[in-house]
Chain A
Amino acid sequence: MDPTDEHEGEHLDGNGVAGILQQVFAADFTTFQRVCQSCGDRNMGGALRSYLGAGIVLRCANCGDVAMRVSPRDREIVVEMRGVWSVAITSS
Protein backbone atom coordinates (compact mmCIF):
# COMPACT_ATOMS: atom_id res chain seq x y z
CA MET A 1 0.00 0.00 0.00
CA ASP A 2 1.18 3.49 -0.77
CA PRO A 3 1.75 5.39 2.48
CA THR A 4 -0.20 8.31 1.05
CA ASP A 5 -3.26 6.13 0.79
CA GLU A 6 -5.00 7.87 3.63
CA HIS A 7 -8.37 7.53 5.18
CA GLU A 8 -9.73 11.01 5.66
CA GLY A 9 -11.10 11.59 9.14
CA GLU A 10 -9.07 8.83 10.69
CA HIS A 11 -6.01 10.89 11.39
CA LEU A 12 -4.31 11.27 14.73
CA ASP A 13 -1.89 13.95 15.91
CA GLY A 14 1.86 13.77 15.63
CA ASN A 15 1.63 12.45 19.17
CA GLY A 16 -0.18 9.34 17.99
CA VAL A 17 2.89 8.17 16.02
CA ALA A 18 5.46 9.55 18.45
CA GLY A 19 6.60 6.11 19.64
CA ILE A 20 7.35 4.89 16.13
CA LEU A 21 9.11 8.12 15.19
CA GLN A 22 11.16 8.08 18.36
CA GLN A 23 12.64 4.84 17.04
CA VAL A 24 13.47 6.58 13.78
CA PHE A 25 14.99 9.80 15.15
CA ALA A 26 16.19 8.59 18.55
CA ALA A 27 14.64 11.83 19.83
CA ASP A 28 11.18 13.14 20.67
CA PHE A 29 9.94 14.44 17.34
CA THR A 30 6.77 15.95 18.90
CA THR A 31 8.86 18.86 20.19
CA PHE A 32 10.68 19.54 16.89
CA GLN A 33 9.75 22.96 15.51
CA ARG A 34 8.66 23.33 11.93
CA VAL A 35 7.81 26.23 9.62
CA CYS A 36 5.54 25.17 6.78
CA GLN A 37 6.89 25.62 3.25
CA SER A 38 3.39 26.38 1.96
CA CYS A 39 1.57 28.53 4.49
CA GLY A 40 4.37 29.68 6.82
CA ASP A 41 2.67 28.22 9.88
CA ARG A 42 5.09 27.58 12.74
CA ASN A 43 4.25 24.65 14.95
CA MET A 44 5.56 21.61 16.77
CA GLY A 45 5.73 18.06 15.44
CA GLY A 46 3.07 16.99 17.95
CA ALA A 47 0.62 19.43 16.40
CA LEU A 48 0.88 17.95 12.90
CA ARG A 49 -1.76 15.52 11.64
CA SER A 50 -0.66 11.97 11.18
CA TYR A 51 -2.01 9.41 8.75
CA LEU A 52 -1.01 5.82 9.21
CA GLY A 53 -0.85 3.31 6.39
CA ALA A 54 2.06 1.16 5.28
CA GLY A 55 4.07 4.22 6.23
CA ILE A 56 3.35 7.49 7.98
CA VAL A 57 2.39 10.79 6.43
CA LEU A 58 2.39 13.95 8.51
CA ARG A 59 0.59 17.02 7.30
CA CYS A 60 0.48 20.67 8.30
CA ALA A 61 -2.57 21.18 10.54
CA ASN A 62 -3.13 24.59 8.98
CA CYS A 63 -2.92 23.96 5.22
CA GLY A 64 -2.75 20.18 4.88
CA ASP A 65 0.48 20.13 2.91
CA VAL A 66 2.86 17.23 3.45
CA ALA A 67 5.36 17.85 6.26
CA MET A 68 6.97 14.42 6.48
CA ARG A 69 6.74 11.06 4.81
CA VAL A 70 8.10 7.95 6.45
CA SER A 71 8.18 4.93 4.16
CA PRO A 72 9.49 1.50 5.01
CA ARG A 73 11.44 0.15 2.01
CA ASP A 74 13.08 -3.24 2.07
CA ARG A 75 15.50 -3.03 4.95
CA GLU A 76 15.46 0.74 5.42
CA ILE A 77 13.13 3.48 6.43
CA VAL A 78 13.09 6.47 4.10
CA VAL A 79 12.22 9.79 5.74
CA GLU A 80 11.40 12.82 3.62
CA MET A 81 10.93 16.09 5.46
CA ARG A 82 9.52 19.29 4.00
CA GLY A 83 9.53 22.83 5.36
CA VAL A 84 12.10 24.26 7.76
CA TRP A 85 12.61 22.00 10.73
CA SER A 86 14.63 22.86 13.81
CA VAL A 87 15.69 20.00 15.92
CA ALA A 88 17.17 20.58 19.34
CA ILE A 89 19.63 17.88 20.20
CA THR A 90 20.92 18.04 23.74
CA SER A 91 24.50 16.97 24.10
CA SER A 92 25.16 14.89 27.14
Chain B
Amino acid sequence: MERLAPRKTPLVWRVATVRDVRTESATARTIVFDVPDWPGHLPGQHVDIRLTAEDGYEAQRSYSIASPPADHALELTVELIDTGEVSPYLVEELQRGDQIELRGPIGGYFTWQPADGGPLVLLAGGSGLVPLMAMLRHRDASGATVPVSLLVSARALPALLYRDELSCRARDGVEVSYTLTREAPSGWTGWNRRVDAEMLRAVGADPQRRPLVYVCGPTGFVEHVAELLVGLGHDPHAIKTERFGPSGG
Protein backbone atom coordinates (compact mmCIF):
# COMPACT_ATOMS: atom_id res chain seq x y z
CA MET B 1 0.00 0.00 0.00
CA GLU B 2 1.30 3.39 -0.88
CA ARG B 3 1.73 6.04 1.75
CA LEU B 4 -0.25 9.09 0.85
CA ALA B 5 1.37 12.47 1.06
CA PRO B 6 -0.85 15.36 1.97
CA ARG B 7 -1.85 17.35 -1.07
CA LYS B 8 0.34 20.37 -1.63
CA THR B 9 -1.74 23.40 -0.90
CA PRO B 10 -0.44 26.64 0.52
CA LEU B 11 -1.13 27.13 4.20
CA VAL B 12 -3.70 29.90 4.29
CA TRP B 13 -6.05 31.21 6.94
CA ARG B 14 -9.62 30.11 6.26
CA VAL B 15 -12.78 31.29 7.91
CA ALA B 16 -14.48 28.24 9.43
CA THR B 17 -18.07 28.17 10.63
CA VAL B 18 -19.18 26.29 13.73
CA ARG B 19 -21.70 23.69 12.59
CA ASP B 20 -22.20 22.11 16.00
CA VAL B 21 -20.75 21.77 19.50
CA ARG B 22 -20.78 18.68 21.72
CA THR B 23 -19.96 18.29 25.38
CA GLU B 24 -17.25 15.67 25.61
CA SER B 25 -16.42 15.62 29.33
CA ALA B 26 -16.77 17.83 32.39
CA THR B 27 -14.09 20.13 30.96
CA ALA B 28 -13.91 19.50 27.24
CA ARG B 29 -15.96 20.21 24.18
CA THR B 30 -15.88 19.01 20.60
CA ILE B 31 -16.41 21.70 17.99
CA VAL B 32 -17.57 20.69 14.53
CA PHE B 33 -16.51 23.10 11.78
CA ASP B 34 -17.44 23.61 8.17
CA VAL B 35 -14.26 24.75 6.45
CA PRO B 36 -14.49 26.10 2.90
CA ASP B 37 -12.09 24.35 0.47
CA TRP B 38 -10.61 22.14 3.17
CA PRO B 39 -7.78 20.27 1.37
CA GLY B 40 -8.14 17.08 3.47
CA HIS B 41 -5.83 15.78 6.18
CA LEU B 42 -4.03 12.77 7.60
CA PRO B 43 -4.85 11.37 11.06
CA GLY B 44 -2.55 13.02 13.61
CA GLN B 45 -2.31 16.42 11.93
CA HIS B 46 -3.37 19.66 13.58
CA VAL B 47 -4.62 23.14 12.75
CA ASP B 48 -3.63 26.56 14.06
CA ILE B 49 -6.43 28.74 15.37
CA ARG B 50 -6.16 32.52 15.42
CA LEU B 51 -8.29 34.81 17.55
CA THR B 52 -8.14 38.53 16.91
CA ALA B 53 -9.49 41.03 19.42
CA GLU B 54 -11.10 44.28 18.38
CA ASP B 55 -7.92 46.19 19.24
CA GLY B 56 -5.96 43.95 16.88
CA TYR B 57 -4.36 41.75 19.55
CA GLU B 58 -3.86 38.22 18.24
CA ALA B 59 -3.60 34.88 19.99
CA GLN B 60 -2.71 31.71 18.12
CA ARG B 61 -2.82 28.08 19.31
CA SER B 62 -2.58 24.61 17.79
CA TYR B 63 -5.37 22.00 18.02
CA SER B 64 -5.27 18.42 16.78
CA ILE B 65 -7.87 17.21 14.34
CA ALA B 66 -10.12 14.63 16.00
CA SER B 67 -12.13 13.60 12.96
CA PRO B 68 -10.89 11.03 10.44
CA PRO B 69 -10.10 12.16 6.88
CA ALA B 70 -13.29 10.66 5.45
CA ASP B 71 -15.56 12.90 7.55
CA HIS B 72 -17.10 15.89 5.85
CA ALA B 73 -16.71 18.25 8.79
CA LEU B 74 -13.58 19.06 10.75
CA GLU B 75 -13.77 18.26 14.47
CA LEU B 76 -11.55 19.58 17.25
CA THR B 77 -11.78 18.60 20.90
CA VAL B 78 -10.59 21.28 23.29
CA GLU B 79 -9.85 20.87 26.98
CA LEU B 80 -10.49 23.86 29.20
CA ILE B 81 -7.43 25.39 30.87
CA ASP B 82 -9.02 27.67 33.48
CA THR B 83 -6.37 30.34 33.37
CA GLY B 84 -5.88 30.07 29.61
CA GLU B 85 -6.30 32.74 27.00
CA VAL B 86 -7.79 30.72 24.14
CA SER B 87 -9.28 27.47 25.46
CA PRO B 88 -11.97 29.12 27.66
CA TYR B 89 -13.26 30.93 24.59
CA LEU B 90 -13.39 27.73 22.55
CA VAL B 91 -14.92 25.61 25.30
CA GLU B 92 -17.33 28.07 26.89
CA GLU B 93 -18.20 30.79 24.42
CA LEU B 94 -18.07 29.68 20.83
CA GLN B 95 -21.61 29.01 19.53
CA ARG B 96 -23.15 27.32 16.55
CA GLY B 97 -22.95 29.68 13.57
CA ASP B 98 -19.91 31.57 14.89
CA GLN B 99 -16.90 32.01 12.64
CA ILE B 100 -13.25 31.57 13.44
CA GLU B 101 -9.94 31.68 11.55
CA LEU B 102 -7.95 28.49 11.17
CA ARG B 103 -5.18 27.13 8.96
CA GLY B 104 -4.07 23.59 8.20
CA PRO B 105 -3.62 20.73 7.97
CA ILE B 106 -0.20 20.98 9.60
CA GLY B 107 2.56 18.46 10.28
CA GLY B 108 3.18 15.26 8.33
CA TYR B 109 5.45 13.79 11.00
CA PHE B 110 3.03 12.82 13.77
CA THR B 111 0.65 10.93 11.49
CA TRP B 112 -0.42 7.36 10.90
CA GLN B 113 -2.13 5.69 8.00
CA PRO B 114 -2.82 2.01 7.31
CA ALA B 115 0.16 1.71 4.94
CA ASP B 116 2.46 2.45 7.90
CA GLY B 117 1.41 -0.88 9.44
CA GLY B 118 1.62 -1.77 13.10
CA PRO B 119 1.05 -3.06 15.70
CA LEU B 120 0.12 0.33 17.06
CA VAL B 121 0.65 1.39 20.66
CA LEU B 122 -1.08 4.69 21.40
CA LEU B 123 -0.32 6.41 24.70
CA ALA B 124 -2.47 9.41 25.61
CA GLY B 125 -2.31 11.88 28.47
CA GLY B 126 -5.43 14.02 28.86
CA SER B 127 -6.37 15.81 25.64
CA GLY B 128 -3.40 14.08 24.00
CA LEU B 129 -6.01 11.48 23.08
CA VAL B 130 -7.37 13.74 20.33
CA PRO B 131 -4.92 13.02 17.45
CA LEU B 132 -4.70 9.35 18.48
CA MET B 133 -8.48 9.16 18.24
CA ALA B 134 -8.27 10.37 14.65
CA MET B 135 -5.86 7.48 13.95
CA LEU B 136 -8.16 4.94 15.58
CA ARG B 137 -11.24 6.29 13.79
CA HIS B 138 -9.38 6.17 10.49
CA ARG B 139 -8.21 2.60 11.11
CA ASP B 140 -11.81 1.51 11.57
CA ALA B 141 -13.20 3.64 8.74
CA SER B 142 -10.63 2.29 6.29
CA GLY B 143 -11.21 -1.33 7.29
CA ALA B 144 -7.59 -1.80 8.42
CA THR B 145 -6.96 -4.70 10.79
CA VAL B 146 -3.73 -3.44 12.39
CA PRO B 147 -3.78 -4.40 16.10
CA VAL B 148 -4.07 -1.35 18.33
CA SER B 149 -3.48 -0.96 22.01
CA LEU B 150 -4.53 2.36 23.50
CA LEU B 151 -3.67 3.53 26.99
CA VAL B 152 -5.47 6.62 28.25
CA SER B 153 -4.20 8.48 31.30
CA ALA B 154 -6.45 11.10 32.88
CA ARG B 155 -6.83 12.74 36.26
CA ALA B 156 -10.27 11.44 37.10
CA LEU B 157 -13.26 9.72 35.55
CA PRO B 158 -15.21 12.88 34.57
CA ALA B 159 -12.20 14.04 32.53
CA LEU B 160 -12.15 10.99 30.23
CA LEU B 161 -12.82 11.80 26.58
CA TYR B 162 -14.80 9.69 24.09
CA ARG B 163 -15.55 7.05 26.69
CA ASP B 164 -18.67 5.55 25.10
CA GLU B 165 -17.20 5.59 21.65
CA LEU B 166 -14.03 3.89 22.89
CA SER B 167 -15.96 1.12 24.57
CA CYS B 168 -17.65 0.43 21.20
CA ARG B 169 -14.35 0.49 19.34
CA ALA B 170 -12.61 -1.83 21.83
CA ARG B 171 -12.98 -5.01 19.76
CA ASP B 172 -11.55 -6.69 16.66
CA GLY B 173 -7.93 -6.11 17.56
CA VAL B 174 -8.41 -2.87 19.50
CA GLU B 175 -7.67 -2.85 23.23
CA VAL B 176 -8.35 0.17 25.40
CA SER B 177 -6.99 0.59 28.94
CA TYR B 178 -7.28 3.44 31.39
CA THR B 179 -5.39 4.85 34.30
CA LEU B 180 -6.73 7.57 36.57
CA THR B 181 -3.90 9.45 38.21
CA ARG B 182 -5.73 11.41 40.92
CA GLU B 183 -9.01 9.92 41.96
CA ALA B 184 -10.79 6.74 40.98
CA PRO B 185 -14.40 5.94 41.85
CA SER B 186 -15.15 2.88 43.97
CA GLY B 187 -15.39 -0.23 41.84
CA TRP B 188 -12.93 1.21 39.29
CA THR B 189 -11.30 -1.67 37.42
CA GLY B 190 -8.61 0.27 35.53
CA TRP B 191 -5.28 1.40 36.91
CA ASN B 192 -5.06 4.15 39.47
CA ARG B 193 -1.55 5.58 39.22
CA ARG B 194 0.88 7.41 36.99
CA VAL B 195 1.96 5.47 33.89
CA ASP B 196 4.86 3.14 34.71
CA ALA B 197 6.93 0.46 32.99
CA GLU B 198 4.70 -2.38 34.16
CA MET B 199 1.65 -0.68 32.67
CA LEU B 200 3.45 -0.10 29.37
CA ARG B 201 4.42 -3.77 29.16
CA ALA B 202 0.85 -4.78 29.94
CA VAL B 203 -0.48 -2.73 27.01
CA GLY B 204 1.96 -4.31 24.59
CA ALA B 205 4.65 -1.65 24.49
CA ASP B 206 7.26 -4.39 24.45
CA PRO B 207 10.17 -3.67 22.08
CA GLN B 208 10.18 -7.34 20.96
CA ARG B 209 6.81 -6.79 19.23
CA ARG B 210 8.32 -3.89 17.26
CA PRO B 211 5.26 -1.67 17.68
CA LEU B 212 4.83 1.79 16.24
CA VAL B 213 4.46 3.94 19.33
CA TYR B 214 2.71 7.32 19.44
CA VAL B 215 2.80 9.38 22.63
CA CYS B 216 0.78 12.57 23.02
CA GLY B 217 -0.21 14.86 25.86
CA PRO B 218 1.12 17.61 28.11
CA THR B 219 4.91 18.00 27.88
CA GLY B 220 5.44 16.46 31.35
CA PHE B 221 3.45 13.35 30.42
CA VAL B 222 5.28 12.88 27.12
CA GLU B 223 8.72 13.30 28.72
CA HIS B 224 7.89 10.79 31.42
CA VAL B 225 6.47 8.16 29.07
CA ALA B 226 9.21 8.57 26.44
CA GLU B 227 11.83 8.02 29.15
CA LEU B 228 10.06 4.86 30.32
CA LEU B 229 9.91 3.55 26.75
CA VAL B 230 13.62 4.08 26.17
CA GLY B 231 14.19 2.36 29.53
CA LEU B 232 12.24 -0.64 28.22
CA GLY B 233 14.67 -0.84 25.31
CA HIS B 234 12.76 0.95 22.55
CA ASP B 235 14.67 2.65 19.78
CA PRO B 236 13.86 6.35 20.25
CA HIS B 237 13.34 6.57 16.48
CA ALA B 238 10.40 4.16 16.68
CA ILE B 239 8.58 6.47 19.09
CA LYS B 240 6.71 9.49 17.79
CA THR B 241 5.82 12.16 20.29
CA GLU B 242 3.67 15.25 20.31
CA ARG B 243 3.93 17.65 23.23
CA PHE B 244 0.93 19.87 23.87
CA GLY B 245 2.65 22.32 26.19
CA PRO B 246 3.39 23.03 29.82
CA SER B 247 2.19 21.23 32.94
CA GLY B 248 2.52 17.69 34.15
CA GLY B 249 -0.01 15.04 33.23
> Which of A's residues lie within 8 Å of B, judged by CB?
9-16, 18-19, 22-23, 26, 28, 30-31, 42-47, 61-62, 90, 92
**Can you name the residue of chain A whose Cβ is closest to the Cβ of B243?**
A12
Tell whether, in the assembled complex, residue B236 and residue A19 are in contact, meaning their CB atoms are under 8 Å apart.
no
Given contacts A28-B6, A90-B8, contact A18 B243 (CB under 8 A): no
- Bound: A59/B245 CA distance, A: 16
Can you spell out 26 A-B residue pairs with CB atoms less than 8 angstroms apart? A9-B219, A9-B246, A10-B246, A12-B219, A15-B46, A15-B110, A16-B242, A16-B243, A16-B245, A18-B46, A18-B107, A19-B62, A19-B106, A26-B10, A28-B108, A30-B107, A30-B110, A31-B108, A43-B237, A45-B109, A46-B240, A47-B109, A47-B241, A62-B236, A90-B8, A92-B8
Given contacts A43-B237, A46-B109, A47-B109, whether A23 and B11 have CB atoms under 8 Å apart is yes
Residues of A within 8 A of B220 (CB): 9
**4 further interface pairs, Cβ-Cβ under 8 Å (given A28-B6, A28-B108):** A9-B219, A9-B220, A10-B219, A30-B110
Query: Does B128 lie at the interface of the complex (its beta carbon under 8 Å from any beta carbon of A)?
Result: no
Task: Please give the distance in Å from A80's CB to the nearest CB on chain B.
Answer: 21
Q: How far is the CA of A44 from the CA of B110 in the complex (A)?
A: 10
Q: Are A19 and B243 in contact (CB under 8 A)?
A: no
Question: Complex formed: what's the CA distance from A28 to B8 in Å?
Answer: 9
Measured between alpha carbons, how far is A4 from B48 in the docked complex, in Å? 24
Which residues of A have CB within 8 Å of B29? Answer: none
CA distance A61 to B223 in the complex (A): 11
Once bound together, how far apart are the Cα atoms of A55 and B16, in whole Å? 28
What 1/0 mask marks residues of chain B from 97 to 133 whose CB sits below 8 Å from any chain A CB? 0000001101111100000000000000000000000
Q: Which residues of B contact A43 (CB under 8 A)?
A: 237
Q: Are A22 and B219 closer than 8 Å at their CB atoms?
A: no
* Complex contacts, A12 vs chain B, CB 8 Å: 219, 243-245
Kindly name the residue among A30, A61, A90 whose own CB sees the greatest number of chain B CB atoms within 10 A. Answer: A30
Residues from chain B with a CB closer than 8 A to the CB of A18 are 46, 106-107, 109
As a 0/1 sequence over residues 216 to 249 of chain B, the CB contacts with chain A under 8 angstroms (1 = contact) are 0001100000000000000011001111111000
Complex: how many Å from CA A14 to CA B246?
A: 15
Annotate B132-169 by CB proximity to A: 1 below 8 A, 0 otherwise: 00000000000000000000000000000000000000
Q: Are A30 and B109 in contact (CB under 8 A)?
A: yes
Instruction: Establish whether residues B236 and A61, one from each chain, have CB atoms under 8 Å apart when the complex forms.
Output: yes
User: Is B53's CB within 8 Å of the partner chain A?
Assistant: no
From the candidates A11, A26, A28, name the one contacting B219 in the complex (CB within 8 A): A11
| Residues A28 and B107 in contact in the complex (CB < 8 Å), given A15-B46, A15-B242, A16-B243 | yes
A26 to B10, CA, bound (A): 7
Docked-complex contact B240 and A47, CB < 8 angstroms: yes
Shortest distance between the CB of B87 and any CB in chain A (Å): 16
Is B245 in contact with A15, judged by CB distance below 8 angstroms?
Answer: no
Say yes or no: A13-B243 contact (C-beta < 8 A), given A46-B109, A61-B236: yes
